[in-house]
Structures are given as C-alpha cells and as structure tokens.
Chains A and B, each alone.
Chain A
Amino acid sequence: MTTLPKTTNKKLGLVIDLDTCVGCHACVISCKGWNTENYGAPLSDQDPYGAESTGTFLNRVHSYEVQPLATSTMPHPAAQLIHFPKSCLHCEDAPCVTVCPTGASYKREEDGIVLVNEADCIGCGLCAWACPYGAREMDAQEGVMKKCTLCVDRIYNENLPEIDREPACVRTCPAGARHFGDFADPESHVSRLTAERGGMELMPEQGTKPVNRYLPPRPKDRMDVPQLTDTLAPHLAPVADEPKGFMNWLDKALDRI
C-alpha cells in the first residue's frame, strides 16, 4: 500500500468541453505519438496489421448516444451523440495509488499528477482494477502499467518553447475542447471555465475526488420547442403573398433605401 500526499501544492488537470468535442480523436493519436517516443516504455501495439489489433492508449474517445426524456415543451426530443474523451483524472484520493503494492504508483506532491514509476511496477494490475474510470492500461509488450502523465515531460520542459509547455492532447485539439491548468488556483483559466460552465466531476459518488472536469453540452434542439416559433413569428410577417404584391412592396422598400 502506497500513501497519498496529504496535500499538493498545485492541482494540475484538464477541462474537457463536451459541448465542442467533435470526436475527431486528434487528442488520442497526439498522446499516443508523444508518449510512445517519450516518458517510459513506448506504447506498444500488438498484431497492428492483423485480426486482433490492440495497443496501449492513455486517452480514448468514447461516443455515447443520449435519448433525452420527453417533456411537455419537447414531446419528441431528438437523440444526441456525445463524444467523451477519457484519460486519468488525477484524483485527489486516487485508489490506484493506495492499492499499489510496490509504491510504483504515486501522486506528485508538487502538482498532484498521478504517475507510475515504471522501474518499480511489477505489472500486477491492481491499480487498473482499483480505478473506477478504466483509465489505466497495461502495456502488453513491456508488462508495465501505463497512464496519462499530463505530459509531465512537456509541461516543465525547458527544451520546449514556453507556449508548448502543455499536454500534447491540449496543444493539438483542433476544436479547442481541451484546457490545461491548475485547479488549486481559483483564478486559473480552468477554474474559471469550470465555474462559468458548471464543470462536472466524473462519478463523484466514487469518492476519488477527480481533478479533471467536464463541461456539459449546452441544451440542444431549442428550435424544436414550439414556443420559440411563436417568439420568432414576427420576423416572418408576410409583406405579400404573391409576386405582384411583392413587387409593389419592393418598389416602396427601394424608395426608402
């Protein structure tokens, strides 16, 4: 059993905007690329051109269909598709750390990032079992546990221009749906986004106190609400119903220009 730090100086994490994530998987592959070349063992792929191709990914995008419930204003709401990127949430009470028998899994005191020290990892898999989010993946080739590092080897990297010192997934996201920052600072970009948009914890009932936050999708399909039609109706008040009347209106309107 490994202990968690009592507090961390920073709480680094991600805000993921489910209102803008288009499900393009850019973050998935950018992460795969950076973390194959960098921190620890490469993210391997088994049978990469075959029948049962599987590989290690630290970030995956799942897509869920949602059928909103009927309401009096929306008796037949359309189904929706939500793209849901998921990686380690860097929990404050990370069960993957406390379950680790060797101390390989740990949470950094200085910034709260949960990491695996691959040198000490015996590949027992207890941490993956303990994680309620399914955010850890065992690398089949190396036999060590892999997980999101928040690109710990980018965010402080003095060999990178300052602007690039952010996780690869954030830097690459074309829709700007991913944000990185310190949740311990109430004035940070991520804290403000969370406050303004009602950023949510994932499965708070698990008691893991995840750091990452998800911004919920805005309400959709408001044009299907009949009241809206009434509100907008004045914009379509007819000037004429047939061509002759229309041209009469046009003449008068042109005189006013």
Chain B
Amino acid sequence: MTQPDLNLSPKVSDEIRKTTCYMCACRCGIDVHMKDGKVAYIEGNRDHPVNKGVLCAKGSAGIMQVNAPSRLRNPLKRVGPRGSGEFEEISWDEALDIATDWLAPIRAEAPEKLAFFTGRDQSQSFTSFWAQNFGTPNYAAHGGFCSVNMAAAGIYTMGGAFWEFGQPDWDHTKLFMLFGVAEDHDSNPIKMGIGKIKARGARVIGVNPIRTGYNAVADDWVGITPGTDGLFILSLIHELMKAGKIDLDYLARYTNAPVLLNGDESSPEHGLFLRNDEGKPLVIDRRTGKPAPFDGQGVKPDLSATYRNAGISHRTVMQLMAERYLDPQYAPEAVAERCGITADKIRTIAAELARVAFDEAFELQHEWTDFRGETHKTMTGRPVSFHAMRGVSAHSNGFQTCRALHVLQIILGTVEVPGGFRFKPPYPKPVSIHPTPHCKVTPGKPLDGPHLGFVRGPENLALREDGTPARIDKAFTWENPMSAHGLMHMVISNAHAGDPYKIDTLFMYMANMSWNSSMNTGGVMEMLTDTDPETGEYVIPRIIYSDAYSSEMVAYADLILPDATYLERHDCISLLDRPICEADGAADAIRWPVIAPDRNVRGFQSVLCELGGRLNLPGFTNSDGSQKYADYADYITNHERKPGIGPLAGWRMGENGLTYGRGGPNEAQLDAYIKNGGFFSTHIPKGAQYYKPWNTAYQDWAVQLGLYDTPQPYIFEIYSEPMRKFQLAAEGHGERQPPEHLRARIKHTMDPMPFWYPALEEAAVDNDEYPVHALTQRPMAMYHSWGSQNAWLRQIHGHNPLYVPTKLWEANGFAEGDWARVSSVHGAITVPVAHMAALNENTVWTWNAIGKRKGAWALSEDAPEATKGFLLNHLIHELLPPKGDGLRWSNSDPITGQAAWFDLRVKIEKTTAPAEAQPVLPPIKSPVGKGPDALAWKVGT
C-alpha cells in the first residue's frame, strides 16, 4: 500500500509576535504565532531569561483566553441589588464620569475614604504611584494574603527572599531542599532547575505534608505536620551547631553573629547593637582585640568576644545563638512527634546537609574584593540550596519559620555562594534602603510617601496621632508591625465593621474577594451586601471593580471597568517592581497588544491614566491641567521615578545615544523591546556574580545600572534589631507604647532570634475536637492563573475532591464515591472525598479555587465546578475565635499580618451524599451569557 503524500513543511504562521505571558505570576516570554491576524499557537520564547523556550500548560492554554466567553465586553453599571449580577452596559464616558464623581469629593475631603487594593496586579509600582497621588493611605496588593511572610522574613534577614527574588545555583548545587512549595511562583524556572540538577545526579529533598508535584519527584519526602516547619528547622540548626558543622568564617565575615549586643537588662538599649558615633554596629576586631565598625577596612570580626564598656557587658549574637539553639528543647527527640518526623530522619537530614555543604565544598576561580577591602583569589562554593514558599509562609508562625530557614542557610554558609542560594537583581538590597511606610493624609494632596515599606522600629508604625491605625487594613500597627505587603484580607471585614473607621469607596482590581481570595467567603458576601438599617444604604457605600473576566466579584460591584486580556494590552515587568531577573543578570520586559480587543474594553492602567487626569492627580496631569499620560504605554515610556530612572531599564536615551539603566525617556523604547523579543537583559560580569551583598564589583555594577545610588554592602541579620525595638516597647521603653492587650504578645512573638510557637488557631481551638489539619494548593496547570475557566485547563482540573490520608480514610470507613462533612470552629462544608496515601496522616487537602459560583465565569450552572467543586475558604475566618474581650483578633501572623490560611483545623465525618457540595449559594446572573456548546479552534485555513 502506498503512503499518502504529506506536506511536512506546512506554513506555521504569518508572523511571530513576542510578548510576556500573564497566565500566572511567572511572566515567561512567549512566541505568539499569528495567522490572518489571529492567534494560532503560543509557545515559549527560547531567548527569554525566565523560561528559555519552555512553557507550562497555562501558557499554552492562553489561546483559550482569546475566545473565552467569560471576557467582559463593556463597562457595566449595577441595576439590581448587589450580588445579583444585574447590570446595564454603559459607555466609557459614563463609566469614567461616575468614577470621577465618586472619587473627586473623597479626594478633596477625606482621601482615606478610598480603599484601593489590587489582586494579581503586575503593575504595583504604577498602581501604588496612582494611589499615592490620590492621597489615600489605603493601598496594597495581594501579598498580605499570599506569601508576605516569605518576602518580609527574607528581606529582614538576608536582604532578599525566595519567592521569585532568588534561585538555587542550578549549575552547581548538589542537594536541593524545598519547603512548602506547591507548584507556584517561579514555576517554570523551578521545574527547569529540578530537571537540570536531577539530570546530573543531584538530589532533592521535599518537605511538604502532601507528596504531589515537585515533592513527588523528590528523592526524599518529609511529610511534615503543617505548621511545624519552624520546629523541624530549629532542630536541624541544633544538630549542626552541636556538631560544629557551621561555617564560622562566613558567619564572622558576612553576618551579624559577631556584632556586640547591650547586655544591661535595665537599659532602654538592652539587646540593641553597640554602635559607634556614626551609628555603625561594632564588632571586636581579632587583630586588635578592640571594638571596630563591622565594615571597617581589614576588620576581622570576632564571633566569641565579650566587651565591657561604661559598666555594661556586651556579648556577640553568636553567644545568644549558642544559648538558644543548643537547648535540648530543639533536640530531634524533643520535636519528632510534634513534627511527624522521626528523630532518626531529622538527624539523617542534618548530617546530609553537613556532608554536602562541607565535604563537597569547592572553589570557583573568580577573583573578587569584599567590602572590607580584602581580595579573594577564589569563591568558596557550598552546594546545598533551599527554596520555600507558601506552605511555610501562610501560618501565623510563618515569619519566624521563614527566618529560621534563612538562619539554617546562613550557618551552612550557603547564601550567595556557588552551589547555594543566589539573589536576582534588584536584590540583594538591605532593609536600610527600602522605604518606610507612609500614611500622612492631606485632603486634596498626595500621600507623604510610598504606602508600603519596612519598619525599623515603633517610630515607623502607621498610626494616627491618637494612636489608632491609619490604614483600613491596620497594616503597620501593633497588631502586625511588619506588614510589608498590607492586609488585603482584612479590608472588607474592617470596612464593614468601621474598625478603625468607615470608608466610602472600595476600588479593587483583579481580586476575587467574594470568592476564593477571601477567608470566610460567605461572610464577605454578607458584608458586601449589608445595609445600614437607618439609611438603607450599603455599609460599604460604593464598590468599583476592574477585571477582564466575569469573576464572582463582578456581581458585588456597582461599577465595572472591563480590563483587556493579556494579549491585548501594554504592561511593563519593571525593575521598580517585581522584575524577571536571573541570578546572573538583570532583565525587564513588556507586554504589548499582539491583537486588538474585539470588545469595548480598556487596559486598567490606561483607565487609571485617564482617571488620574480627570481627578487632577499631580503625577498624572501636566502643568496646564491636561492629562499627562495618554495611556499606559505613554506612562511606561515617559514616566521617570527619579531623573534617569523609569519603568523600563532598556534602551534609554543617554547623552551620547542609547544606553540602559540610567538615562532619559526614549520615544522608541517600546519598539526596541518588541524588536528584541519583548524583554531587555544585561549580564553581571564574572567576579561579581556571587557574594553580591559584600562584593565591591557587584555593588558598583548595581549602582551603574541604577538599582541604587551608592554601594550598599551589609551583613545578614541573624539577630533582627528592628524586632528587638518592638520588644523593648512592649517592655515599657520608648514613647510609642503598644496597647495593653498586645504587650505580652509583642514581647513573645517579636523575638529578634528565630523561634517557634504553635499556630494561633491551634492555640485557640480544641485540638481534640478539631484534630485534623486542612490545606489547599493550586494545581500546576492552574497556579496563580486568572483563567481557571479555561476550556482546556478545566478538562484537566475540573473536580476537587477532599484528599484523605489512609489513617483517616480507614477510621471513617470511607469508600470511593463517599462524601464527608468537614467542619471547623467557624463553619462546615459537605464535600466528596478521595483516598491518598502519600499524605501526612493528620492532614486533608484539596485543590484550591476549582469550585465556582453558579453563574460566574460563563460556565453553565451544572458545571462540576459549581455543583461538586468547593472552597475550604468557608471554614476559615478572617478573625480568630472571639476571646470574650470584645476585640477583633485577625487570623494572621502577629508580626506581618500574613493571612494564616494553613492554620486551619477541622474534623471530618462521613455523611450521606447530598445533591451538590454544601453550602449551595444561589446563582448570580451572568453579565456575559454562557459559553458555546463546542470548540474546534483552528484559525488557519
């Protein structure tokens, strides 16, 4: 039989347009293949620094966003009651008139009455600039309910965090240990890295109660009990210190372990650093035996010194570390049961970390000079690396746990060394050059500075003159002093309670607060629809919302500003924000409209440019009062945050032509980006690629690029002096004093050296009544994706049973197809169950945000997401159970305000199968109708 004649070289596309993916937070480069002006195929951009050609399921499925029936089409004005989904379509002129009429009086009289919070926003340096110009103190993005513990602990400890701000040295690491990582941030780089290190025989240890994803391919799995990671890590530190398996040279040179602490218990400076007249922390110089500034030229810090001065004894941080971490309370036997890990296994892991870090140490022939002026012929590598994310972060003890993990990295000498963990520009960056929070409101004027920042002590709290919280989310207050990303999860609850005050308008972007992005989802819906019995008005009077899709939140807004999808818009992935750098280089990127919207929608940032002009915000108007930026592209090109520094670093205009980093605006900048594949990158020279916080060549490179204005060498903060300052306040020192009900908690939790305490919910509920931990994670094919209604992805993850470990499965007599009632101290759900053996024996879990509200996302009302899908959110309250003191205690980390999603404790009981997962909520009317009955999306002929 003859074979058919095939065309083996069909035309692939008319044109490839290179832009940046937005199917999650990873921001990979994509090649969008166009045929007849339509999107025909999407694949990864091989030249791109993030993904180097690969692309995940979400990225490839981006083509199904182009035709998604859930895309909003026109601005909408609510005509039915809130939550009904009844809208009328209006023009952009009318929509912007309404928004201006609502916002202008607020700005003139009381700017704090606007709360502007953005969710999966990738333009935070822009949206925060807008909010700052408006003058409200109430701005943040979604970090507070995501992983602020990880970001804040990293920056306060090492001047940089995991998240996507650093990466293992994939080329040299031999042992990679990851904690609490589902399949999230930086997902393609981590998958690429795991593949790369496994291919050359390096090993992976996964610490996670659930063995899926990366943990499924880990060589060793540690199925830890949720919330005990800190205890496990401190036990590893205990074993390593006891065995002397710590990098003393590294600790002496690059950390504050040798810094001298005031030991006078009666002093208001007790526990603070001994400093010289210039404010530099002092160490004892081993060359002289005398105090010297930590960064003095040639100084050799002494880890074990003591120093008596003016009647006060000083000891080094190292001595405190020995006292704390050698304590038998951290011995493997003492923590094993609580962590759900045998003492033998803890020891084995500690020994393996020691073996690889010290016995497999190596040298790279990179000569470099440190900040004390000493030149080193080589760089010492310690091939142990770590990564961690939300699993350790989203607990009320998460900040201290993340700090503990960083101390583990640091004592092994594995940060910023070959084979270890490396920062990506603009990190490393010490706390001292981050802004502090600003909250001073002046009607009709901008805020006095950036909203978010890093407090150095009580003096930086966002409090009003009467000591009450300045912000609606109570960020930077005694309740959570280091809340660097704000507390988006508390905004609606606090606004509804009028605690600390009432607001007028809630303005949100890409944040599904009436569904999967809120704790206490049912309660939030009630708060959003609750009315004042006297006036009949909504308690939260006005809600403006911008989204590209018909999410659950749309129904709860009064005015909808429909956003463009990611292939239809401009964006910048900026070094001022959360860039896409790699450890070896700096990079930023753009999105640009590879297709034009086929609906009456506008990119949200362009709408803010116009609103800014209409409201006469100084940063958005020219001196003649006209609108300054025609649209977001205009802002990206022409805005300068300070002279020579704009949103994009590439192709700036210098005195002698094109340059990068520092330079003036260039009208052709976006074209240059498009020509280069949508991104800009520049490499760090050899000799500057490691030891960056202390490396003069790196520091000079960073200054030249404009990351900061002068070299900023610093030492890692094993001991956190800002935290000690809050403790001192709690002990009665200083003018700014915490309220009495928080004094003991601050003294306890703001410990300047990492320690472990049980999660707050564990302490607040009856653990015999609620013995089971309940977690969620997003599947890799959907993580951080604003498109889980995606026609292809929902065929992979359209169902989310509650996964139950063998012990609980057998104890409850479950069989396949059974349902369970799952209850917490706050609420109950009834859901389908499934058995999973590779799971911590006291933990249940499900895929998050598969469950959808009937009527949302243009799904039919009998879609499995709406009938059997469910959210654990109904079981999690934004407040801790009442303590009888009349106070509202947030269910958050007491240090950072991180939402404590993973503290949840439940009980589980077999029940008869209901028709649908409980609770069932009434359908909302879809403002976009429903999707088609079939798809066969071939755009070429």
Contacts and interface: CB of A to CB of B under 8 A. Distances in A.
B212 A23 contact: yes
A106 interface: yes
B780 A117 contact: no
Contact of B43 (A168, A218, A232): A168
B4 A235 contact: no
Interface in B176-193: 183, 187-188, 191-192
Interface string B851-871: 000000111101110010000
A236 B859 contact: no
Interface string B227-241: 000000000000101
Contact of A175 (B35, B195, B860): B195
Contacts, number: 316
Interface stretch (A127-135, A157-165, A198-206): A157-165
B41 A240 contact: no
Contact of A239 (B46, B198, B242, B252): B242
A117 B218 CA distance: 42
Given A24-B191, A240-B326, A78 B183 contact: no
Nearest to A159: B12
Interface string A57-83: 100000101010000000000111111
A255 to B, nearest CB: 9
B196 interface: yes
A81 B862 CA distance: 31
Nearest to A108: B3
A117 B837 contact: no
B538 to A, nearest CB: 32
B8 A229 contact: no
A66 to B, nearest CB: 9
Interface string B300-328: 00111000000000000011001100100
B221 A220 contact: yes
A100 B858 CA distance: 41
A103 B795 CA distance: 32
Nearest to A44: B936
A136 B3 CA distance: 20
Given A36-B937, A81-B216, A159-B10, A257 B351 contact: no
Nearest to A27: B57
Contact of B837 (A45, A65, A232): A65
B248 A253 contact: yes
Given A22-B216, A237-B243, A37 B41 contact: yes
A29 B352 contact: no
B40 interface: yes
Contacts of A238: 242-243
B46 to A, nearest CB: 7
A20 B1 CA distance: 41
B941 to A, nearest CB: 11
Contacts of B214: 22
Contact of A176 (B59, B195, B286): B195
A46 B933 contact: yes
B241 A246 contact: yes
Given A80-B838, A229-B348, A48 B355 contact: no
A49 B930 contact: yes
Contacts of A80: 211, 216, 221, 838
B412 to A, nearest CB: 12
B318 A106 contact: no
Interface string A217-238: 1101111101011001101111
B397 interface: no
A163 to B, nearest CB: 7
B53 interface: yes
A242 interface: yes
Contacts of B796: 25, 28-29
A161 to B, nearest CB: 9
A28 B56 CA distance: 9
A81 B838 contact: yes
Contacts of B11: 159
A169 B932 CA distance: 28
A171 B33 CA distance: 15
Contacts of A176: 192, 195-196, 199
Given A22-B191, A175-B192, A152 B6 contact: yes
Contacts of A250: 248, 303-304, 318, 322
Interface stretch (B620-628, B684-692, B703-711, B785-793): B785-793
B934 A78 contact: no
A48 B791 contact: yes
Contact of B10 (A3, A32, A38, A228): A38
A50 B859 contact: yes
Nearest to B783: A24
B249 interface: yes
Contacts of B248: 250, 253-254, 257
A50 B60 contact: no
Contacts of B837: 65, 67, 79
A247 interface: yes
Contacts of B747: none
Contacts of A24: 56-57, 183, 187, 191, 213, 780-781
Nearest to A103: B1
B352 A223 contact: yes
Contacts of B63: 33
A80 B215 CA distance: 9
A190 interface: no
A53 B220 contact: no
A81 B211 contact: yes
B61 interface: yes
A188 interface: no
Q: Which of B188, B220, B244 neighbours the largest number of chain A CB atoms within 10 Å of its CB?
A: B244
Interface in A122-166: 141-142, 152-153, 156-160, 163-164
B9 interface: yes
A151 to B, nearest CB: 10
A45 B795 contact: yes
Contact of B355 (A21, A108, A235, A257): A235
Contact of A54 (B9, B302, B793, B795): B795
A32 B47 CA distance: 23
A251 B322 CA distance: 13
Interface string A9-38: 000000000011111111011101110111
A42 B937 contact: yes
A101 interface: no
A41 B304 contact: no
A83 B9 CA distance: 33
B123 interface: no
Contacts of B475: none
A157 B791 contact: no
Contacts of B763: none
B935 interface: yes
Given A22-B191, A47-B933, A222-B220, A174 B56 contact: yes
B940 A37 contact: yes
Given A33-B42, A168-B43, A247-B304, A51 B216 contact: no
A147 to B, nearest CB: 15
A191 interface: no
Contact of B242 (A21, A120, A172, A241): A241
Contacts of B46: 163-164
Given A33-B42, A49-B858, A235-B355, 9 more contacts: A20-B217, A23-B216, A29-B792, A32-B792, A65-B837, A108-B3, A174-B195, A232-B352, A253-B248
Closest 3 CB pairs of A and B: A49-B931, A232-B351, A79-B837
Interface of A: 2-3, 19-26, 28-30, 32-34, 36-38, 41-51, 53-55, 57, 63, 65, 67, 78-83, 103, 106, 108-109, 115, 117, 119-120, 141-142, 152-153, 156-160, 163-164, 168, 171-177, 217-218, 220-224, 226, 228-229, 232-233, 235-243, 246-247, 249-251, 253-254, 257
15 contacts: A2-B1, A22-B194, A33-B41, A37-B40, A37-B937, A47-B933, A49-B794, A65-B837, A119-B4, A157-B10, A224-B345, A232-B348, A236-B245, A251-B304, A253-B248
